[in-house]
Amino acid sequence: MNLCHGNISIFDVAVLWFRLKVLRQLSLNDIEERNLYNEVEEILEQMENIWLRNNSAFINENDAITIADLLAISELEQLTFTDFQLDVYKYPRLVAYIERVRAQLYPYFQINHIKAFEKSQEIKNQTLSSKL
Collapsing DSSP states into helix, strand and coil, what is residue 60? coil
Report CA torsion sign: 70, 46, 13, 27: negative
More confident call, 81 vs 100: 100
How sure is the predictor about 17, in pLDDT bands with cuts at 50, 70 and 90? low
Is the pLDDT at 2 greater than 50, yes or no?
A: no
The pLDDT value recorded for residue 97 is: 93
Is the pLDDT at 89 greater than 60, yes or no?
A: yes
Report the predicted TM-score, pTM, of the whole model to 2 decimal places.
Answer: 0.74
Report CA torsion sign: 54, 81, 103, 11: positive
Q: Which of 122, 117, 90, 120 is nearest to 102 (CA)?
A: 117
